[in-house]
Amino acid sequence: MRSLGMVALVGLALAACGESSRPTVPRPLALAAGTGSAQPHLARTESGLVVLSWLEPTEGATRLLVSRLAKAGWGEPVEVARGADWFVNWADFPSVLPADRGPWAAHWLQRRPEGGYAYDVVMAMSLAPGANWQVIGSPHDDGTPTEHGFVTLFPWDGGTGVVWLDGRETGGGGHSHGAQDAGGMTLRTARVAADGSRDRESVLDELTCDCCQTDVTVTRQGPVVVYRDRSRGEIRDIAVARHDGTAWTEPSLVGVDGWEIGGCPVNGPAIDSMGESVVVAWFTGAEDRPRVRIAWSMDGGEHFEEAIEVPALAALGRVDVVAVSERDAVLSWLEQVEQQASLRLVRVSAGGEFGPVMEVGRTAAGRPSGFPQMVSGGDGLVLAWTDVEGEVRTVRSATLALPD
C-alpha cells in the first residue's frame, strides 16, 4: 500500500475557485511518532500556534503525546499522560487544546471497572504551556457505567469548554446503538476552569447519534456546536446549537438530508468560522447515495444557506473543513478508490464554485486509517493522518501552501 506522504499529486491544484494557479504540492513534516502511533488530532490558537497530539503504545500501556509546530517542523513530543486502562478507539480520539493565554487542556478516555463500553472522559491541564500536565478529573459526574466520549474542547471565557456525547440515559446496555436501546445518547456541555471546577453545565440535545464526532467553532457571538442528531424515527441529520452569550439555543438542522439509518454511521461533521461566517461539512448516506455536503451561515450559525453537494463518486466521509475567507473554504474527505481510500481536498465557495480536486495520497479504507485532520497554519494548511502499511500504523503530517 502506498504511503500518503510519498504519493505525488495527481495533476491537481488548490486553486482559487474559477481561477488557474500554480500546482501546490504537500511538503512532508518530520514527526517523531513511533510505530503503532495513531489517532492524530490537530488544533491551533487564535495567534496561529499549531499543535498535534496522538496516541502511541508503550510498555503495556498507551500514552498521549503532543508536539508544537515551528518553522523547522514539529518539535520534540511531550508526554501528556499514559495509562494501561484507557479506552482506545479508531474514531473517538483524545485531544490537546493549546492556548495563547492561560492553561492548555487535554482529554482522553479511561475505562471504568465494569469493563465493556463503560468509560469516562478524563481531563488534564498544563499551566506551563504544554508541559507539567496535571489530571483534574472529568467534566461529568454521573458515575454511571456507560459511554462518555466524542469530546470537543474549545476556549470559552477564560476556561475550557467541553462538549461530549453522554450515555448515562442508555442504561449501559451494550453498544448496539439502535432503536431498542434503553435510552438515548445525549449531548452535553460544561465549562472547566484551571482548578478543575465546572460550571455552565447543560444538556444541548436529549437524543443524538451515538458515536459520531462532535465539533465546535467560536464566533464573535460565542461557540457553535455541530453534531449528528437522531430523531425517534431514526433520521440522523446534522444539527447545530449556539451559545448566544446568555444561553444555549435550541438545536436546528444544518441541512435536511432525511438519512434514515438504524445504527450510527460513525461519521461526524466538521465546522469552522471566520467572522460571522460559519461553514459546516458532513457525510450522508441518504437515498443510498454516499456523499459529502457543505453549507454556509452568514449570521453566526443561526441560519444556513442551501447545502452544496461535493463531487465525489464513492465518498467514505471522515471530513474536515477550514474557512479561508468568509465565503470560501477548503474541504477534505476520504473517497473509496479500488481497495484503498483517497485523501482528497477541494476549495469551494459559498456560491457553489469548486476548484480542482486534489488527491493528497492514499491509505487504508478501513478503520485503522482513522480520521484525517486539517487546520490552517503558516501560509496554508497543516495535515495529519494515520498511515497504514499492512498491519503497521504511523502518524504522518504535511503542510500545503495556499496559492497566491
Closest CA to 281 of 225, 238, 252, 249: 238
* 179 has a pLDDT exceeding 60: no
Higher pLDDT among residues 366 and 402, named by residue: 366
Hey, is 245 helix, strand or coil? coil
* Whether the Cβ atoms of residue 269 and residue 226 lie closer than 8 Å to each other: yes
Closest CA to 361 of 1, 42, 8, 24: 8
What percent of the chain lies above the pLDDT cut of 90?
A: 81
Residue 173 banded pLDDT, cuts 50, 70, 90: low
CB neighbours of residue 84 within 10 Å = 9
pLDDT in tens, 2-19: 344 433 333 333 433 444
**What gap in Å lies between CA 95 and CA 105, rounded to an integer?**
8
* Whether the Cβ atoms of residue 344 and residue 359 lie closer than 8 Å to each other: yes
Residue 20 banded pLDDT, cuts 50, 70, 90: very low
CA torsion 260-262-265-266 (nearest 10°) is 130
Residue 174 banded pLDDT, cuts 50, 70, 90: low
Cα-based angle 193, 196, 201 (whole degrees, multiple of 5) = 70
Q: What is the pTM of this model?
A: 0.93
Per-residue CA distances from 356 to 78, 315, 325 (Å)? 38, 17, 18
Domains of the chain: 4-401 (2.120.10.10)
* 337 has a pLDDT exceeding 70: yes
What percent of the chain lies above the pLDDT cut of 70?
A: 91
pLDDT mean over 185-214: 95
Cell of 38: 495513531
Per-residue CA distances from 162 to 97, 154, 191 (Å)? 11, 7, 6
Element (H, E) at 249: none
Helix residue spans in 220-363 (DSSP H) = none
**What gap in Å lies between CA 183 and CA 171, rounded to an integer?**
7
pLDDT in tens, 104-159: 999 999 999 988 899 999 999 999 999 999 999 999 999 999 999 999 999 999 99
pLDDT mean over 86-96: 97
**φ/ψ bin of 73: left (φ > 0), alpha (ψ from -120 to 50), beta (otherwise):** left
Residue 404 banded pLDDT, cuts 50, 70, 90: very low
pLDDT in tens, 286-306: 999 999 999 999 999 999 999
**What gap in Å lies between CA 212 and CA 195, rounded to an integer?**
30
pLDDT mean over 188-200: 93
* Predicted local distance difference test score (pLDDT) of residue 311: 86
* Whether the Cβ atoms of residue 5 and residue 28 lie closer than 8 Å to each other: yes
Per-residue CA distances from 109 to 37, 204, 227, 346 (Å)? 17, 21, 19, 33
DSSP conformation class of 128 = B
**What is the per-residue DSSP string for 203-236?**
EEEEEE-SS---EEEE-SS-EEEEEEB--TT-B-
Cell of 116: 465493556
180-194, 282-296, 325-339: segment of lowest average pLDDT = 180-194
pLDDT mean over 59-73: 94
* Predicted local distance difference test score (pLDDT) of residue 134: 96
Q: Which amino acid is at 22?
A: R
